[in-house]
Amino acid sequence: MKRLYAIVFVAVLLALVIGLGIAKHPGYVLIDYPHVFRYESGLWSTLAALLAIGLVVLLVTGCVRLLLTSTKVVNPWSRRNRQRRVQAAVSRGQVELAEGRWANAQRHLSIAAEAERFPLFYYLGAARAANELGEYEQSDALLERALDRQPGAELAVALSHAQLQVDRGEPEAALETLRLMRERYPNNVQVLRQLYRLMHERDDWAGLIRLMPELRKAKALPARELAALEQQTLREGLLIAPVEGQNQRDALEQSWNTLSTAQRQEPALVLAYADQLRRVGATAEAEAALRMALKRQYDSRLVRFYGLVRGQDPLKQLQFAEGWAKEHADDAGLMLTLGRLCLQNSLWGKARDYLEASLRLQRHPEACAELARLLGRLGDTERSNQLFQEGLALLDERLLALPLPAAR
């Protein structure tokens, strides 16, 4: 309070001193421009006028600045409020897109896309909303606009376009889009994944067989999913339904020849091919295909299957397989195959030895069944029955433990 009194006292004193000074020395100002302008006044009056003019200029400048950068009440079209409107459109559009309110989402996201510097995701969302509304031309136009604004986002726009084409029920167009992107962006994981899903939905097994090496190389799928897909593709894909006037053997050969040289050397594909050849009755061709593959590389799966096909010369087939016995004597599948090949050549004692060796390495129901059949014909019914029971018990381990009637 004392400080306030002191300030007031000093102010009054200064005003008194200035007033006395002005009264004693009023001063004089003359500005004259002949025949145009003449100003004549006291010094202090002139200074007061200049001060007043300066205050007016500051006031006007402040009002203009306030008008340009004010809140919505003063100027709803200021830059600050335009940014607020864009952010509101973004927020609303994203929520509406997630909730399926397509018309509102398209409107708000289109507004946001036009205002933003990097509008890709807003255009993609607006295109999806338009697609859901059935406005396919508008959806495509939004995607084209996105590409115009961000030319470097060609792949992202194309992937979204392919998915929208699938949603429209245009899988062929989606395949064409993805294949084009596959050429321009080889080994792109997202392109390969979308191709895989689309081909799988369409049961395009031939296409999946050709795509499989790229999926594996790019690690586009988890290892377990890729293995399951590979098995299904190989099982379903090699034997394509024959066209009119074409038998299954020709259809299978045509499908096999569409594969690359590297693919025809993959053990899993060779196994599927040989299995299909056996199913259509071409067992000699199946044996030849397996033999050629095994000459290149030893594979346990191919070796096990080799005993299930009969070539043109069963004795040469046995001799060829026995060439692996030294290096792979611990392969139960090889011993089973040698036993089966001996059965084909009526070498009963040798077959028994190989089948016994297979069972020593691994208790497998197939080996049990083969040896049981042989021993039954050789008169050893007791051992034969024991092996049949063991084979059934091994199979039982793979069955569900369902209730059974009490044993009598």
Cβ 305 vs Cβ 274: under 8 Å: yes
Q: How high is the mean pLDDT of the chain? A: 81
Contact 301, 307 (CB under 8 A): no
- For residue 402, what pLDDT band results from cuts at 50, 70 and 90? low
Longest alpha-carbon distance in the chain? 151
Angle between helical axes of 120-132 and 154-167 (0-180°, round to 10) = 10
> Could you tell me the two tokens for 108?
């708000």
Secondary structure of residue 241 in the 3-state scheme: coil
Rg, the chain, Cα only: 45
Which whole number is the average pLDDT over 120-148?
88
Which of 182, 242, 241, 236 is closest to 214 using CA atoms?
Answer: 182
Type of residue at 67: L
User: What mean pLDDT comes out for the span 233-242?
Assistant: 60
Nearest 5°: phi and psi at 29?
-130, 130
| Contact (Cβ atoms closer than 8 angstroms) between residue 208 and residue 237 | yes
306 CB-side CA count, 13 A: 34
Q: What is the DSSP annotation of 12-81?
A: HHHHHHHHHHHHH----EEEEETTTEEEEE-HHHHHHHHHHHHHHHHHHHHHHHHHHH--TTT-TTSHHH
At residue 21, the pLDDT reads 66
The DSSP secondary structure of 36-54, one letter per residue, reads TEEEEE-HHHHHHHHHHHH
User: Is CATH 1.10.8.60 correct for 313-396?
Assistant: no
How does residue 111 score in pLDDT terms, banded at 50, 70 and 90?
Answer: confident
Sequence-ordered list of residues with C-beta below 8 angstroms from that of 32, at least 6 positions apart, any chain:
38, 39, 40
Please check whether residue 79 is in contact with residue 100, taking contact to mean a CB–CB distance below 8 angstroms.
no
Q: What is the pTM of this model?
A: 0.52
Pairwise CA distance, residues 314 & 246, whole Å = 30
Query: Residue ranges of the domains in the chain?
Result: 19-69, 238-312, 313-396
Model confidence over 8-63: pLDDT tens digits?
777 777 767 666 666 666 666 667 677 667 767 766 677 777 778 888 888 888 77
Alpha-carbon distance of 182 to 157, in angstroms, equals: 14
Residue type, 393: A
The confidence band for 223, taking pLDDT boundaries of 50, 70 and 90, is: confident
Closest by CA position to 258, among listed 183, 208, 324: 208
Residues 6+ apart with CB under 8 A from 362: 332
Residue 343 tokens, joined: 């059965």
* Residue 352 contacts residue 371 (beta carbons within 8 Å): yes
Dihedral sign of CA atoms 291, 293, 299, 300 in order: negative
| pLDDT score at 289 | 92
Identify which of 220-224, 241-245, 274-278, 391-395 has the greatest average pLDDT.
274-278
> pLDDT digits over 262-289, tens only?
778 888 888 888 888 888 888 999 999 9
Where is average pLDDT lowest: 210-214, 305-309, 369-373, 381-385? 210-214
